[in-house]
Amino acid sequence: MSEEETVATVDHLPDRWSRHRFMGLVGLTIFVALFLVSVALALYNSSGAAQLDLTRPGYQSVREQAGHSTSFDGFAANGPLNKETTDQFRTLYDTQAEKATNVDSFAGNAMDEQTLSIDAPSEN
């Protein structure tokens, strides 16, 4: 073998990274995914959202106490689609849109229950 053939043969031999590139990328992807999930869980716990999540198994009794309000006077999801129903929908939509745009976003009470229209229903 001449020196040129030896150099050409050595150049074509794959190095360690080339042979294990796919497995390295899979491992790196798994590591990045685990890191991002751990960051998301840390933010979930530190922000206080975990205490508000009623879907957690420990909060089943609280979930039952929360109840569901059926006092929504909204637009029917099924039925005929005509001028009357379109006008009814537009009226309901405009009413809610006006309530949403009339709130001063930077006011101190912007997140109050009354401002957000999520007051507790009155007991009759």
Q: What is the DSSP string of 55-68?
A: TSGGGHHHHHHH--
What's the rounded Cα separation, in Å, for the pair 108 and 110? 6
Q: What's the pLDDT at 124?
A: 44
Question: Which residue in 55, 63, 58, 71 sits closest to 117, CA to CA?
Answer: 71
Per-residue pLDDT of the chain (124 residues; tens, 9 = 90+): 566 555 555 555 567 777 788 999 999 999 999 999 999 999 988 887 777 776 777 776 766 666 666 566 666 678 888 898 889 889 888 988 888 787 777 777 777 777 776 665 555 4
At 3, list the tokens. 């020196």
Q: What's the pLDDT at 18?
A: 76
At 100, list the tokens. 């949403």
Instruction: Supply the DSSP string of 48-109, one letter for each residue.
Output: THHHH-TTSGGGHHHHHHH----------SSS--SHHHHHHHHHHHHHHHHHHHTS-TTSTT
HSE, side-chain direction, 13 A CA sphere, residue 47 = 10
Containing 6, the helix (H) or strand (E) segment is helix 3-12
